[in-house]
Chains A and B, each alone.
Chain A
Amino acid sequence: MASVSRRSLLASGGVAALGLTVAGVRGATADGAQHDHGAHSHAHGGSGMAHGGGVNGPMFRGGQTVDHAANGFDPTEILRDFDWGRTTKLPGGRTLREWDVWASDHDVEVAPGVTFPAWTFNGRIPGPTLRCREGERLRINFRNGSHHPHTMHFHGIHPADMDGVAGQGAGIIEPGATTIYEFDAEPFGLHLYHCHVGPLAEHIARGMYGTFIIDPAGGRPDADELVMVQHGYNTTFDGEGNQLYAVNGIPFCYMNAPVQVRRGELVRIYLTNLLEYDPINSFHLHGNFFHYFPTGTSLQPLEYTDTVAQVQGQRGILEMRFPHTGQFMFHAHKTEFAELGWMGMFEVTG
């Protein structure tokens, strides 16, 4: 059947019907998602049918959510979960900060009813947010409890043998083996860490990444601090794009459980992009603007905006105050990513 002739005939023949449907949907999409994000089309029922279903925006089947308890981690807890490790004093008074990190194989429910055979740091995606202060001595005791070889590769400034790549220092850490990464905390800013074993894209995309924050010696102004890791899941393992996109582990999570913030309070977001298989990711905030500090290595913001783009491994700090109460959406401005899971809500209370 010749689709070209059909398409052109339909285009001319079906103009009236097409026009009517488009007009109906346009009217309904504009801001529906902001008011009715949780229960979506269930709230819609019969009236939704008049202009077509699904107009409140994308969602999982029946508004379902994943079982955070079974997964062993909850994105809402990850938001404000900064792992400061444990500290001791070195001779000379310098602080030694130490963490225990382990790798494991872990089935994660990445969408309701969909299991992803993940490789994780400390059993969660993203891995723990390691946080320290500029100038400290850092020690990471890494144990590989996975069935696959792994490393921890940190961004930042450190000696070659602490780089966590094959052929350097301890090199690749085989299953059951342990190693210690030790280096100084520099430079201050927002960094990341991830496994660096080939095939590299798969080792990262399976879930082996996390945020690494070095606070400036003088600290930053007091704020409600949040960490957000942008990433995705290539559930088909074909290395071509992702079937699911998320922030902090679970797609659409903050649609169902909006991020709670206070009106007028300074909110600081540590935003990183650990996405694989797509060239770029972005963050867009509704109803507000923010100051953006690329890589967090300067205390002066570079721009005042509502949208930033980040390539893989790029990161930056966002600072904002919400002047209005209510719910405000945030999502990838690459709409495809948003509709495949990378969207959420801030709920601003007075």
Chain B
Amino acid sequence: MPAPTATRPVVPTWVLAAILVAVMAVVLAGLALVGGDALPERQGPPVEQLAVERTVLEPGTIELRLRNTGPDAVSVAQIFVNDAYADFAGPGDEIGRLASASLKIDYPWQDGSPYLVSMLTSTGAVIEHQIAAAVETPAPDAGLFGLMALLGTYVGIIPVLLGMLLLPVLRRASRPWMTGLMAFTVGLLAFLAVDGTIEGLDIAGASSQAFGGVELLFLGAGLAFLALTAVDRMVSARRAGAGAAGRSGYAAALMVAIGIGLHNLGEGLAIGSAYAIGELALGAFLVVGFAAHNTTEGLAIAAPLSGGPGRPPLARLLGLGVIAGAPAILGGILGATVDNAELTTFLLGVGVGAIVQVVVQLASTMRDGSGRILNPVSVGGLCAGMIALYATSLLVAA
């Protein structure tokens, strides 16, 4: 009698998979070759697109860092600025699809004036780039890093820690107060998520689209949301394993701090890029505005800690403050030196995703005795949180 070997596959699974993948590759390659030839030749003039990813202004020169975002190669033959031809240095030949290039224009620009840079391509097409107000681009040196570290500390770390000073008061609050406070926190965060999304959409609209515009915002948000959810699950699992139920408040606070930290990265980017284009003429206003705004964020971090037993160690509190506030420093440096709309869009998306994740996580803390999330107290707290953040955001004119 033959053994029941018929149930065992003759070919190992991995071989079968490899064969299938190979077949798919061959068919796709064939389609690319045959299908590509089946298409008619594209008619009409070449499609010439160049996106300016960064503008660097130094005395007497305007430097444009370009990327070819169109389907065809582009050759910049001549450049005129405000209707006058100007000398420039840059690549003499074509800029290929998705390739980048840097053009340095010899032009005596004046501080604060607007400029229209027109790039005349070899086919006679004109690609324009508007400089709203010319300001010398800060050099990424130690002085700039120092300034950004100082500003980041001012608007990020100190206000968050200030907000956390309210912790002793919070610890004495009754349950309805705590529910309201958590709802207040969620309201703050929800507003931040909307604010970040709007800002991200704005910046995405102005970016080159070569690597996607708005998609980058949502990609960043999705990745951050999922990554933080995974981190949260791991923290919960470890907690369950250790049976240390008492640390749940700290875990929540940590997640809030991470979410706010990623948001503050976005704020740092705003400060840095504002500095790069001279917006920090608004100086004190920007710092005071962001600081007041971020004090409420400190409150949001402190709220989950108020329910736990015992007094959290000071180092741990400081750590939370740094996690939430320090990304403002990094954002500031990135904003002032990189000033890339696509990167900014992605990082704003990351901030938004992180905040949404925290909102989802904190929602359960707003439940009342009967388990409803949207109870009168929490609704009041949500409204107060959103209004508080709206009001403090008015202080920031940038």
The complex places the Cα of A54 from the Cα of B125 at a distance, in Å, of: 23
Q: Are B87 and A3 in contact (CB under 8 A)?
A: no
Return chain B residues, CB-CB under 8 Å to A7. Answer: 112, 133
The complex places the Cα of A55 from the Cα of B84 at a distance, in Å, of: 11
Contact code string B69-110 (vs A, CB < 8 Å = 1, else 0): 000000101111001111111000000000000000111111
The complex places the Cα of A51 from the Cα of B60 at a distance, in Å, of: 7
Q: Are A17 and B111 in contact (CB under 8 A)?
A: yes
The complex places the Cα of A21 from the Cα of B113 at a distance, in Å, of: 12
A300 within 8 Å of B (CB atoms) = no
A224 within 8 Å of B (CB atoms) = no
Q: Are B279 and A61 in contact (CB under 8 A)?
A: no
Most chain A C-beta atoms within 10 Å of own C-beta, residue among B60, B122, B123: B60
CB contact list, A97-130 vs B, under 8 A? 110-116
Given A40-B87, A54-B86, A62-B87; A10-B133 close (CB under 8 Å): yes
> Which of B61, B111, B120, B281 is close to A111, meaning CB atoms less than 8 Å apart?
B120
Return chain B residues, CB-CB under 8 Å to A116. Answer: 124
Return chain B residues, CB-CB under 8 Å to A10. Answer: 111-112, 133, 135, 278, 281
Q: Are B124 and A236 in contact (CB under 8 A)?
A: yes
CB contact list, B384-398 vs A, under 8 A? 397-398
Taking CB as reference atom, which chain A residue is nearest B123? A115
Q: Are A115 and B84 in contact (CB under 8 A)?
A: no
> Which of A1, A17, A110 is close to B274, meaning CB atoms less than 8 Å apart?
A1
Most chain A C-beta atoms within 10 Å of own C-beta, residue among B85, B105, B133: B85
> Which of A2, A14, A111 is close to B78, meaning CB atoms less than 8 Å apart?
A111
Given A59-B85, A114-B124, A236-B125; A53-B106 close (CB under 8 Å): yes
Q: Are A112 and B77 in contact (CB under 8 A)?
A: yes
Contact code string B111-122 (vs A, CB < 8 Å = 1, else 0): 110000010111
Count of CB-CB pairs between chains A and B under 8 Å: 138
Q: Are A49 and B59 in contact (CB under 8 A)?
A: yes
Stretch at the interface among A173-181, A282-290, A324-332, A333-341: A333-341
Shortest distance between the CB of A330 and any CB in chain B (Å):
17
Given A10-B135, A58-B86, A113-B78; A235-B120 close (CB under 8 Å): yes
B282 within 8 Å of A (CB atoms) = yes
Taking CB as reference atom, which chain B residue is nearest A10? B112
Return chain A residues, CB-CB under 8 Å to B111. Answer: 10, 14, 17-18, 21
Shortest distance between the CB of B50 and any CB in chain A (Å):
15
A48 within 8 Å of B (CB atoms) = yes
Return chain B residues, CB-CB under 8 Å to A264. Answer: none
B126 within 8 Å of A (CB atoms) = yes
Return chain A residues, CB-CB under 8 Å to B89. Answer: 62
Q: Are B85 and A41 in contact (CB under 8 A)?
A: no
Return chain B residues, CB-CB under 8 Å to A11. Answer: 112
B26 within 8 Å of A (CB atoms) = no
Shortest distance between the CB of B30 and any CB in chain A (Å):
38
Given A3-B132, A10-B133, A49-B60; A58-B110 close (CB under 8 Å): no
Contact code string A1-23 (vs B, CB < 8 Å = 1, else 0): 11101110111011001100110
The complex places the Cα of A25 from the Cα of B282 at a distance, in Å, of: 28
Return chain B residues, CB-CB under 8 Å to A41. Answer: 87, 106
Q: Are B87 and A63 in contact (CB under 8 A)?
A: yes
Return chain A residues, CB-CB under 8 Å to B112. Answer: 7, 10-11, 14, 18
> Which of A6, A14, A59, A237 is close to B87, meaning CB atoms less than 8 Å apart?
A59
Q: Are A9 and B84 in contact (CB under 8 A)?
A: no
Q: Are B108 and A52 in contact (CB under 8 A)?
A: yes
Given A6-B278, A6-B281, A48-B60; A61-B108 close (CB under 8 Å): no
The complex places the Cα of A294 from the Cα of B112 at a distance, in Å, of: 45
Q: Are B281 and A22 in contact (CB under 8 A)?
A: no
Q: Are B120 and A243 in contact (CB under 8 A)?
A: yes
Return chain A residues, CB-CB under 8 Å to B281. Answer: 6, 9-10, 13-14
Given A10-B111, A58-B86, A59-B85; A236-B282 close (CB under 8 Å): no
Q: Are A115 and B124 in contact (CB under 8 A)?
A: yes
Q: Are B87 and A53 in contact (CB under 8 A)?
A: yes
Shortest distance between the CB of A173 and any CB in chain B (Å):
27
Shortest distance between the CB of A41 and any CB in chain B (Å):
5
Q: Are B126 and A235 in contact (CB under 8 A)?
A: yes
Given A10-B281, A21-B59; A53-B133 close (CB under 8 Å): no
A304 within 8 Å of B (CB atoms) = no
Shortest distance between the CB of B106 and any CB in chain A (Å):
3
Shortest distance between the CB of B58 and any CB in chain A (Å):
8
Shortest distance between the CB of A293 and any CB in chain B (Å):
32
A-B contacts, 24 of them at CB < 8 A, read: A5-B282, A6-B282, A11-B112, A14-B111, A14-B281, A21-B108, A21-B111, A25-B110, A52-B59, A53-B106, A54-B60, A58-B86, A61-B78, A61-B87, A62-B89, A235-B120, A235-B123, A236-B124, A236-B125, A251-B85, A336-B83, A336-B84, A340-B83, A341-B85
10 tightest A-B contacts by CB? A235-B124, A52-B108, A113-B77, A339-B84, A53-B106, A52-B60, A53-B60, A9-B281, A10-B112, A58-B84
Q: Give me the interface of A with B, judged by CB distance under 8 Å.
A: 1-3, 5-7, 9-11, 13-14, 17-18, 21-22, 25, 40-41, 48-49, 51-55, 58-63, 110-116, 233, 235-237, 243, 251-252, 336, 339-341
A21-B59, A41-B106, A54-B60 known, 19 other contacts, Cβ within 8 Å: A2-B397, A3-B132, A5-B397, A7-B112, A18-B110, A18-B112, A25-B110, A41-B87, A49-B59, A53-B107, A54-B86, A54-B87, A54-B105, A59-B86, A59-B87, A61-B88, A111-B120, A113-B122, A336-B83
